[in-house]
């Protein structure tokens, strides 16, 4: 168990809908990362937050947004969903943003868009 | 920009034999290198990392990796494979700036045959 908790584990929704994925980082970790894993794109970095502030952006679509709350949990909001958004979404966390810090991943949230 | 290449989609090894999963990287400065493993329907589990120092890094479950700066490689190795090692393995890199989380390779399926 990495200590990173993600909910829900599985989610099925229709095209055009909006969903929210939730993440609780490991105790004491200030950085939260979101990744998308799909068969065709592999593991793609979406966005990083550090202590409530956006720190880095990767290949995140404009339809997607995220935030990190004062209690350090994070949410990834996916809107106007398309079939191609079906993927496994990972949250990960680490301590201070030193490049040598290990990033620990949650079990992921499986999103199926039908 | 940093990148990682895992040249083999799949590696097949007989149980008890040594295994190697290959990884090469490209970064602008000194690299920080990581290996993760993903079991079916599970999250990414951290195996080991190279930050600096000894080129041979030891990690979880008997795995080790050898950093080779001249060949820009970080191959994952294990002296004697177990059937339970069968999984998807990811190599990842982070440069000294570290602002963008990890950049992952496409992953290598490791299949250990009894």
Chain B interface includes A10 (CB < 8 A) = no
Average pLDDT over all residues of chain A: 94
Residue to substitute from B43, B59, B100, interface A, most A β-carbons within 10 A: B43
Token pair of A39, please? Answer: 């068969």
Give CB contacts under 8 A, 24+ apart, made by A40-43.
A41/A87, A42/B104, A42/B105, A42/B106, A42/B107, A43/A90, A43/B90, A43/B104, A43/B107
Which DSSP string corresponds to A49-61? Answer: EETTEEEEE-S--
pLDDT of residue A59: 84
Q: What is the pLDDT of residues B29-58, one digit of tens each?
A: 888 999 999 998 788 999 999 998 899 999
Out of B42, B46, B101, the one facing A107 most closely (by C-beta) is B42
Average pLDDT over residues A90-111: 90
- Measured CA to CA, the distance from residue A78 to residue B25 in angstroms comes to 32
pLDDT of residue B94: 84
pLDDT of residue A39: 84
* pLDDT tier at B100, thresholds 50, 70, 90: low
Which is nearest to B78 in space by CA: B27, B14, B17?
Answer: B17
Q: How many CB atoms lie within 10 A of CB A82?
A: 12
Better-scored residue on pLDDT, B103 or B23 = B23
Are B43 and A43 in contact (CB < 8 Å)? no
Are A102 and B99 in contact (CB < 8 Å)? no
pLDDT of residue A100: 82
B60 backbone dihedrals φ, ψ, rounded to 5°:
-75, 155
pLDDT of residue A40: 83
| Lowest-pLDDT choice from A52-66, B8-22, B42-56, B94-108 | B94-108
């Amino acid at each position: 168990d990495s200590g990173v908790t993600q909910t829900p584990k599985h989610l099925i929704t229709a095209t055009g809908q909006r969903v929210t994925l939730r993440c609780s980082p490991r105790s004491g970790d200030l950085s939260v990362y979101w990744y998308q894993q799909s068969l065709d794109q592999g593991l793609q970095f979406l966005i990083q937050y550090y202590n409530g502030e956006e720190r880095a952006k990767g290949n995140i679509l404009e339809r997607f947004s995220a935030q990190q709350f004062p209690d350090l949990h994070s949410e990834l909001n996916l809107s106007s969903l398309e079939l191609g958004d079906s993927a496994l979404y990972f949250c990960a966390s680490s301590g201070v943003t030193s490049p040598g810090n290990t990033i620990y991943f949650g079990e992921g949230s499986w999103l199926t868009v039908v | 920009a940093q990148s990682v290449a895992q040249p083999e989609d799949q590696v097949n090894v007989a149980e008890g034999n040594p295994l190697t999963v290959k990884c090469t990287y490209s970064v602008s400065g000194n690299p920080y290198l990581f290996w993760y493993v993903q079991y079916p329907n599970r999250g990414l589990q951290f195996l080991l990392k190279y930050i600096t120092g000894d080129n041979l890094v030891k990690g979880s479950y008997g795995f080790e990796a050898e950093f080779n700066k001249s060949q820009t490689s970080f191959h994952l190795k294990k002296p004697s494979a177990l059937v339970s090692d069968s999984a998807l393995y990811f190599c990842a890199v982070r440069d000294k700036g570290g602002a963008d989380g990890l950049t992952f390779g496409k992953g290598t399926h490791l299949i250990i045959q009894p």
